[in-house]
């Protein structure tokens, strides 16, 4: 089992500039298990924008799980809410932070939910 | 479920028989449920091996019930020298005080046994009769019985314990009881949600494990809720009872999402729908705005938090879309069902903007409107960017999840609800008419908020222009010339699906109908083909698929009627609105103040009694909210600027109606209504409202 690909988290941070997380600031710590090893990642949400680091302030919410689960969620192959219900993730503290972040995780691969005609007009 | 006793707290509820016992089969919604999972499927009390016989059931509160029992079943009491009281309160699980009274002159020795077992069924499995994929276990741990279920990392447990000494085995608890003459014996039984998504009960903070304190905390909360609501006085007594029942049921249906502890929004209904639904939560919040605007605030915040942001075919999710339904059970956890959450609703998104605006008009809470600006703009953008599936500028739906998604994504969501006059079903994507009304209203209201709160006049102008254009096209494309009403839907090729349905009433509510066409539409709604005397049928009599007990093809929905009445008032049809209120409020009286989800569309003169739809939920949030909205429409309550305008039009049988301390941006205000219709004799008390007196003219 490989350790979590840092780029997946950086994507989240990048997305948050385009799609800010509404109205909720705080620190979410991911405890990523890989065998006996636990890597901590800090996602700090301030004014809707997420920054990623290996250190951070006192977490408002701690989410733990194995690296495969996190990798699946961060690449759109699994759903965070379902993983939490399933026990593949566990969360302590203000779980609402995880809900707010969910909007930054990718959707399911190959999804056909393409914007309809009006979308293109509006973008041009 | 006849004889079923239901008590609930948030989304935890217990359904038992009238002796307090639970013996659930997989397809039967009895048991202890929490977060869509059954945590107890068997709970049977015996004394010396005998079942108990119910004498009476007292529903103390919606969360608390007391059962009076005697040993022996059948018609003859075997031993009436003993009586048994089970008093049960729901909290995080449930708590039961068991008391045995010995009325004899001699002491007795008894073997008291409680059988307990659990199948940990997901509510979806109960509805659809599916089999489990994991393994069960039981253990005895520190004097308590642990019932458990495990599937990979998914673990759920129920902990059963008692305060009195007992022998615990894997099938239940046994007490060796000695009771002196004219004395009693008692124990407290606890059935706790031992382990769920929040971890084990032991890890949960004390206030969440309310246990036996649940009763008093919840009684306080209910009292506060009732105190804060406006008070009603009226010379027609049934309305007072219906009003109180509605407030209490609405309190019972308040639900706190697992990720937003401490905040309440209306769940859809018991037993199947104790969860967050976009559409139901929004409609109920709209109905309740003049009475309890907090529900709207939480609904807006929670739905905004879960607003769609991604493309996900399984969940029918798009950016900006408001969720349809959230579930917490095993099948959702393993992504066998898409409800984490599922977004397959096409009306919740425009209605979200409608609610935000209506909320601001009542409360003046511009702060929330500012905080939710991004969500509201995303919802408005979704209408044009993602819902224009026919490419003609109308909002339409077609599921991308063909396996477990919803086929009809409007409120009439059964398979045959959208049809032609001759009964044929149209193709997909479907653009039903009421959706266009909601979209129009969302744009008009979005424009108001943009101008007033977001200070973006250019955006406001654009929305106003789009709304006007939509209204113009709609009145041309949906109008059925030979029938003088609006078609229920458009086909993908733009042709009309020409059935006459109650959706026309929602169009009045949204304001999309040209003034010149409103009279014909109101006439249809009040015609014998649509108005049964109790209410407006979902589908007009004479249409191909009409069936008086067809869910969306003839049955009468109180919620639907409450919005139709609002629509009639909007276009000035005061007396018609009052007649609709009268019929449904008469029905409410016959249902003891608790309106079901739907009842039969039979002619009132034919049945004399509204026939309840066979499998409808009760209480159900938007039926519970209907009498509240009727109060608003009867009194003609309308927030205009900083003021509450009152313009009453009461049904004939109500001489006087007072609603006091109505909260809003004006502080608190009273509204008074007196019968405007001169009647020869004073109205009879408790007479039915909707019965046409001899000699009275029929509209």
Give the integer Cα–Cα distance in Å for B299 and B297. 6
Answer yes or no: are the C-beta atoms of B584 and B577 closer than 8 Å. Answer: no
Flag whether pLDDT at B148 surpasses 90: yes
- Quote the pLDDT of residue B690: 64
Flag whether pLDDT at A121 surpasses 60: no
Q: Which residues contact B150 (CB under 8 A, 6 or more apart)?
A: B134, B135, B137
One domain, residues B125 and B245 = no
Chain A: nearest CA to B124, how far in angstroms? 15
Flag whether pLDDT at B681 surpasses 50: no
Answer yes or no: are the C-beta atoms of B88 and B5 closer than 8 Å. Answer: no
- For B599-641, the pLDDT digits (tens) are 999 999 888 888 877 655 678 899 999 999 999 999 999 999 9
Please indicate if any CB of chain B lies within 8 Å of the CB of A109. no
- Quote the pLDDT of residue B124: 78
Return the residue in A107, A114, A121, A123 with the most chain B beta carbons within 10 A, the one to mutate for interface testing. Answer: A107
- For A52-90, the pLDDT digits (tens) are 999 999 999 999 999 999 999 988 888 999 999 999 999
Last-in-domain residue among B214, B242, B272: B214
* Whole-number CA gyration radius for chain A: 15
Residue A121 lies in a domain: no
One domain, residues B55 and B168 = yes
Per mean pLDDT, which range of B198-202, B388-392, B539-543 is the poorest?
B198-202
Flag whether pLDDT at B679 surpasses 50: no
State which residues form the domain around B118. 5-214
User: How would you class B380 by CB atoms within 10 Å of its CB: exposed for 0-12, middle for 13-18, buried for 19 or more?
Assistant: buried
**Chain A residues within an 8 Å CB radius of B153:** 86-88
One domain, residues B310 and B264 = yes
Give the integer Cα–Cα distance in Å for A91 and A88. 10
Return the residue in B151, B335, B462 with the most chain A beta carbons within 10 A, the one to mutate for interface testing. Answer: B335
Residue B696 lies in a domain: no
Cβ–Cβ gap B389/A116 under 8 Å: yes
Q: For A118, which of B305, B313, B388 is closest by C-beta distance? A: B388
Flag whether pLDDT at B258 surpasses 70: no
- End-to-end, the C-alpha distance of chain A in Å comes to 45
Answer yes or no: are the C-beta atoms of B290 and B628 closer than 8 Å. Answer: yes
- Quote the pLDDT of residue B208: 55
Q: For A113, which of B305, B371, B400 is closest by C-beta distance? A: B400
Return the residue in A48, A86, A88 with the most chain B beta carbons within 10 A, the one to mutate for interface testing. Answer: A86
- Quote the pLDDT of residue B217: 64
B492 alpha-carbon distance from chain centroid: 32
Flag whether pLDDT at B674 surpasses 80: yes
Here the CATH number for the domain that contains residue B315 is 1.50.10.10
Q: For A108, which of B258, B313, B332 is closest by C-beta distance? A: B313
Nearest to B419 by CA among B545, B547, B549: B545
Nearest to B148 by CA among B26, B268, B37: B37
Question: For chain A, where are the E strands, in sequence order?
Answer: 26-34, 37-46, 49-53, 61-66, 89-93
Q: How many CB pairs under 8 A join A and B?
A: 108
Residue B438 lies in a domain: yes
Number of Cβ within a 10 Å radius of residue B597? 23
Return the residue in A48, A70, A82 with the most chain B beta carbons within 10 A, the one to mutate for interface testing. Answer: A82
One domain, residues B547 and B601 = yes
- Quote the pLDDT of residue A118: 36
Give the integer Cα–Cα distance in Å for B395 and B382. 10
One domain, residues B628 and B563 = yes
Please indicate if any CB of chain A lies within 8 Å of the CB of B332. yes
Mean pLDDT of the B126-153 span? 90
Cβ–Cβ gap B199/A22 under 8 Å: no
Cβ–Cβ gap B312/A81 under 8 Å: no
**Chain A residues within an 8 Å CB radius of B260:** 96
Helix (H) or strand (E) holding B117: strand B108-117
Q: Which residues contact B80 (CB under 8 A, 6 or more apart)?
A: B70, B103
Q: Which residues contact B348 (CB under 8 A, 6 or more apart)?
A: B278, B279, B282, B303, B321, B322, B323, B324
Mean pLDDT of the B147-157 span? 96
Cβ–Cβ gap A117/B314 under 8 Å: no
- For A92-102, the pLDDT digits (tens) are 888 888 888 88
Here the CATH number for the domain that contains residue B52 is 2.70.98
One domain, residues B11 and B101 = yes
Residue A10 lies in a domain: yes
Please indicate if any CB of chain A lies within 8 Å of the CB of B384. yes
Chain B: nearest CA to A19, how far in angstroms? 8
One domain, residues B192 and B336 = no
Flag whether pLDDT at B215 surpasses 60: no
Chain B: nearest CA to A7, how far in angstroms? 19
One domain, residues B386 and B322 = yes
Q: Which two tokens stand for residue B98?
A: 């068991």
- Quote the pLDDT of residue B199: 82
Chain B: nearest CA to A51, how far in angstroms? 19
Flag whether pLDDT at B420 surpasses 60: yes
Last-in-domain residue among B171, B190, B214: B214
- Quote the pLDDT of residue A111: 58
One domain, residues B465 and B555 = yes
Residue A42 lies in a domain: yes
3-state secondary structure of B103: coil
Number of Cβ within a 10 Å radius of residue B400? 18
Residues in chain A: 124
Residues in chain B: 699
Residue of A nearest to B368 (CA): A23
Residue B509 lies in a domain: yes
One domain, residues B262 and B199 = no
Our CA angle for B155, B158, B162, nearest 5°, is 155
Chain A: nearest CA to B309, how far in angstroms? 5
Which residue matches tokens 């006439």? B523
- For B315-358, the pLDDT digits (tens) are 999 999 999 999 999 999 999 999 999 999 999 999 999 999 99
User: How would you class B240 by CB atoms within 10 Å of its CB: exposed for 0-12, middle for 13-18, buried for 19 or more?
Assistant: middle
The percent of residues above 90 in pLDDT, for chain B, comes to: 75
- Quote the pLDDT of residue B686: 54
- Quote the pLDDT of residue B685: 41
Residues of B535-557 as b/e, b for ≥16 C-beta within 10 angstroms? Answer: bbbbbbbebebbbbbbbbbbbbb
Flag whether pLDDT at B292 surpasses 70: yes
The conformational region for residue B199 under phi > 0 = left, psi -120 to 50 = alpha, else beta, is left
Residue B245 lies in a domain: yes
Chain B: nearest CA to A57, how far in angstroms? 22
- Quote the pLDDT of residue B75: 56
Residue A117 lies in a domain: no
Quote the number of domains for chain B: 2
Residue B292 lies in a domain: yes
One domain, residues B63 and B178 = yes
Reported as a pLDDT band with limits 50, 70 and 90, residue B652 is: confident
Reported as a pLDDT band with limits 50, 70 and 90, residue B101 is: very high
State which residues form the domain around A87. 6-109
- Residue B80 or residue B475, greater confidence: B475
Please indicate if any CB of chain A lies within 8 Å of the CB of B335. yes
- Residue B366 or residue B677, greater confidence: B366
Which residue matches tokens 């393994």? B135
Please indicate if any CB of chain B lies within 8 Å of the CB of A47. no
Last-in-domain residue among B183, B214, B245: B214
Give the integer Cα–Cα distance in Å for B313 and B399. 8
Q: Which two tokens stand for residue B514?
A: 């040209």
Q: Which two tokens stand for residue B637?
A: 């309550």
The percent of residues above 90 in pLDDT, for chain A, comes to: 44
Chain A: nearest CA to B314, how far in angstroms? 8
Residue A114 lies in a domain: no
Concatenate the DSSP letters of all residues of B182-206 into one string: T-EEEEEEEEEEEEETTEEGGGS-G
Give the integer Cα–Cα distance in Å for B480 and B122. 45
- For B402-414, the pLDDT digits (tens) are 999 999 999 999 9
Dihedrals φ, ψ of B317, to 5°?
A: -95, 140
Residue B130 lies in a domain: yes
Cβ–Cβ gap B310/A106 under 8 Å: yes
CA torsion sign, B247 to B253 to B256 to B257?
Answer: negative
Answer yes or no: are the C-beta atoms of B84 and B189 closer than 8 Å. Answer: no
Residue A1 lies in a domain: no
Give the integer Cα–Cα distance in Å for A1 and B471. 58
Cβ–Cβ gap B312/A108 under 8 Å: yes
Q: For A118, which of B153, B329, B385 is closest by C-beta distance? A: B385
Residue B679 lies in a domain: no
- Quote the pLDDT of residue B555: 96
Q: For B385, which of A81, A105, A122 is closest by C-beta distance? A: A122
pLDDT mean across residues, chain B? 90
- End-to-end, the C-alpha distance of chain B in Å comes to 40
One domain, residues B262 and B203 = no
pTM of the predicted model as reported, rounded to 2 decimal places: 0.91
Flag whether pLDDT at B73 surpasses 80: no
**The complex's ipTM?**
0.87
Q: For A100, which of B305, B389, B400 is closest by C-beta distance? A: B305
Cβ–Cβ gap A82/B389 under 8 Å: no
Flag whether pLDDT at A36 surpasses 70: yes
């Amino acid at each position: 089992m490989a350790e979590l690909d840092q780029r997946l988290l950086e994507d989240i941070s990048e997305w948050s500039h385009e799609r800010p997380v509404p109205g909720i600031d705080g620190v979410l710590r991911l405890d990523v298990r890989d065998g006996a090893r636990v890597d901590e990642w800090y996602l700090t949400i301030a004014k809707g924008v997420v920054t990623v680091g290996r250190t951070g302030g006192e977490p408002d919410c701690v989410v733990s799980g194995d690296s495969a689960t996190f990798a699946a969620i961060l690449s759109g192959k699994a759903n965070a809410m379902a993983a939490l219900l399933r026990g593949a993730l566990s969360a302590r503290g203000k779980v609402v932070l995880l809900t707010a972040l969910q909007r930054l995780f990718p959707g399911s691969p190959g999804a056909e939910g393409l914007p309809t005609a009006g979308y293109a007009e509006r973008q041009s | 479920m006849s004889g079923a006793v239901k008590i609930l707290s948030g989304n935890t509820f217990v359904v038992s028989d009238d002796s307090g016992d639970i013996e659930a089969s997989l397809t039967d919604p009895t048991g202890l449920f929490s977060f869509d999972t059954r945590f107890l499927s068997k709970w049977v009390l015996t004394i010396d091996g005998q079942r108990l016989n119910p004498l009476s059931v007292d529903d103390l509160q919606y969360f608390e019930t007391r059962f009076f029992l005697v040993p022996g079943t059948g018609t003859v009491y075997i031993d009436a020298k003993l009586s048994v009281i089970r008093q049960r309160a729901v909290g995080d699980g449930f708590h039961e005080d068991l008391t045995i009274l010995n009325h004899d002159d001699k002491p007795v020795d008894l073997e008291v046994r409680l059988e307990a077992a659990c199948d940990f069924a997901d509510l979806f499995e109960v509805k659809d009769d599916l089999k489990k994929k994991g393994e069960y276990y039981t253990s005895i741990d520190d004097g308590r019985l642990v019932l458990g279920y495990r599937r990979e990392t998914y673990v759920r447990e129920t902990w059963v314990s008692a305060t009195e000494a007992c022998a615990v085995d894997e099938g239940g608890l046994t007490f060796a009881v000695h009771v002196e003459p004219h004395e009693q014996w008692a124990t407290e039984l606890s059935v706790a949600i031992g382990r769920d998504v929040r971890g084990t009960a032991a890890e949960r903070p004390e206030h969440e494990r309310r246990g036996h304190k649940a009763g008093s905390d919840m009684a306080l909360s209910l009292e506060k809720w009732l105190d804060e609501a406006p008070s009603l006085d009226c010379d027609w007594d049934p309305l007072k009872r219906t009003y109180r029942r509605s407030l209490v049921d609405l309190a019972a249906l308040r639900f706190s999402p697992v990720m937003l502890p401490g905040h309440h929004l209306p769940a859809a209904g018991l037993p199947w729908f104790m969860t967050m639904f976009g559409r139901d939560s929004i409609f109920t919040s709209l109905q309740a705005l003049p009475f309890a605007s907090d529900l709207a605030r939480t609904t807006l915040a929670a739905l905004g938090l879960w607003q769609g942001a991604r493309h996900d075919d399984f969940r029918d999710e798009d950016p900006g879309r408001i969720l349809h339904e959230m579930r917490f059970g095993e099948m959702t956890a393993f992504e066998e069902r898409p409800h984490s959450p599922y977004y397959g609703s096409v009306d919740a998104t425009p209605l979200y903007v409608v609610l935000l605006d209506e909320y601001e008009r009542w409360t003046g809470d511009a702060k929330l409107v500012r905080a939710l600006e991004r969500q509201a703009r995303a919802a408005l953008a979704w209408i044009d960017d993602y819902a224009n599936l026919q490419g003609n500028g109308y909002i339409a739906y077609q599921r991308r999840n063909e396996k477990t998604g919803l086929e009809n994504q409007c409120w009439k969501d059964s398979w045959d609800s959208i049809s032609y006059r001759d009964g044929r079903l149209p193709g997909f994507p479907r653009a039903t008419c009421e959706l266009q009304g909601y979209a129009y209203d969302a744009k008009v209201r979005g424009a108001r908020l943009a101008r007033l709160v977001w200070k973006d006049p250019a955006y406001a102008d654009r929305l106003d222009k789009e709304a006007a254009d939509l209204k113009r096209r709609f009145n041309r494309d949906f109008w059925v010339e030979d029938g003088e009403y609006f078609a229920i839907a458009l086909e993908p090729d733009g042709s009309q699906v020409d059935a006459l349905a109650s959706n026309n009433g929602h169009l009045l509510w949204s304001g999309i109908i040209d003034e010149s066409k409103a009279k014909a539409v109101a006439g249809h709604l009040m015609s014998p083909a649509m108005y049964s005397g109790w209410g407006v049928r979902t589908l007009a009599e004479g249409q191909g698929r009409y069936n008086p007990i067809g869910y969306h093809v003839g049955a009468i929905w109180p919620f639907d009627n409450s919005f139709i009445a609002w629509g009639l008032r909007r276009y000035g049809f005061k007396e018609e609105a009052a007649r609709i209120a009268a019929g449904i409020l008469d029905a409410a009286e016959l249902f003891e103040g608790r309106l079901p989800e739907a009842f039969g569309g039979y002619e009132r003169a034919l049945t004399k009694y509204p026939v309840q739809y066979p499998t409808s939920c009760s209480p159900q949030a938007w039926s519970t909210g209907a009498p509240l909205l009727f109060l608003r429409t009867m009194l003609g309550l309308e927030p205009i600027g900083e003021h509450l305008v009152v313009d009453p039009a009461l049904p004939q049988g109500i001489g006087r109606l007072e609603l006091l301390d109505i909260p809003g941006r004006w502080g608190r205000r009273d509204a008074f209504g007196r019968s405007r219709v001169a009647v020869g004799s004073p109205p009879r008390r408790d007479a039915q409202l909707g019965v046409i007196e001899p000699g009275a003219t029929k509209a």
